[in-house]
Amino acid sequence: MVASLDGAAWSKGVSEGLSGPADRRLFQVLRGLADVILVGAATVRSEGYGPVEARDSWDELRAGRPPTPPIAVVTRRIDLDLGGKFFAATGAQARPIVITCAAAPPDRREAAAAISDVIVAGDDRVEPDQALRALRERGLNHVLCEGGPRLGGGLAAAGLIDEVCLTVSPLLIGGGAARVLNGPVGRTPLRLAQILEEDGFLFTRYVREEP
């Protein structure tokens, strides 16, 4: 995740305005390490998500694994553009995953199943623990959550976050932007494992404290 100095998770509705060249390089390394990328439906829509592109620099990172990680989108109603670029995987690009609940409209589930792998994880809403369990059953153990704030907040409240990689951008945003995590109250003690700096950006990595 990326945040401004005053805690904003986006600028003008998207996170790109908070980023910089070094942050984008780090973002790609984290993607290359992941087995699967987890993201909320609102983030897919607002950030214009599409399939992950393979990179030559990932050859060593992804040895013994597919060239790209799939993206798993969490959506209660499957209110996505099923004809859009998110579902347009070709060649080495991984087929997307839709994680939804039993209450999702049956016709939307059927349509999504024709172009993606559909996981039902919960009755009236997507349950984070069930979603992660289903990903693990598919051999997708290293999960990179790219947000948004509501999805991250739900994972934190359920005690399911092991590590946080947070870029602090040297900007003050103000206004009503969301925090990095929004949603139910939870408490997860973390310890600082690493910190780097470039061009005024701080790149921090925190890991979960063992009980």
DSSP H stretches of helix in the chain: 21-33, 41-47, 106-113, 128-137, 149-157
The residue out of 116, 141, 166 marking a domain boundary is 141
Mean of the per-residue pLDDT values for the chain? 94
Distance in angstroms (rounded) separating the CA atoms of residues 184 and 181 = 9
What b/e sequence results for 91-127 when a residue is b if at least 16 CB atoms lie within 10 Å of its CB, and e otherwise? eebbebbbbbbeebeeebbebbeebbbbbbbbeeebb
Q: Which two tokens stand for residue 133?
A: 């369990």
pLDDT at 157 over 70: yes
Digit-coded pLDDT (tens) for 2-17: 999 999 998 887 888 8
In this structure, the answer to whether residues 120 and 52 fall within a common structural domain is: yes
The yes-or-no verdict on residue 186 having pLDDT over 80 is no
Question: Is there a contact between 30 and 144 (Cβ–Cβ < 8 Å)?
Answer: yes
Question: Does 168 share its domain with 94?
Answer: no
> What pLDDT does residue 210 have?
76
Residue 146 pLDDT grade (very low, low, confident, very high; cuts 50, 70, 90): very high
Q: What is the biggest distance separating any 2 CA atoms in the chain, rounded to whole angstroms?
A: 49
Q: Which domain holds residue 116?
A: 36-141
151 and 65 both lie in a single domain: no
Domain boundary among 100, 116, 141: 141
pLDDT digits (tens, 9 = 90+) for 28-73: 999 999 999 999 999 999 999 999 999 999 999 999 999 999 999 9
Write the CA distances from 82 to 45, 78, 91, 124, integer angstroms. 11, 9, 19, 22
CATH number assigned to the domain comprising residue 90:
3.40.430.10
Please give the Cα distance from 204 to 195 (Å, whole number).
Answer: 4
Tell me the residue type at 143. V
Based on the structure, what is the number of domains in the chain?
A: 2
More confident residue, 209 or 192: 192
pLDDT score for 211:
60
Average pLDDT value for residue range 78-87: 97
Residue 92 confidence class, pLDDT cut points 50, 70, 90: confident
**112 token code pair:** 């999504």
Residue 181 pLDDT > 70: yes
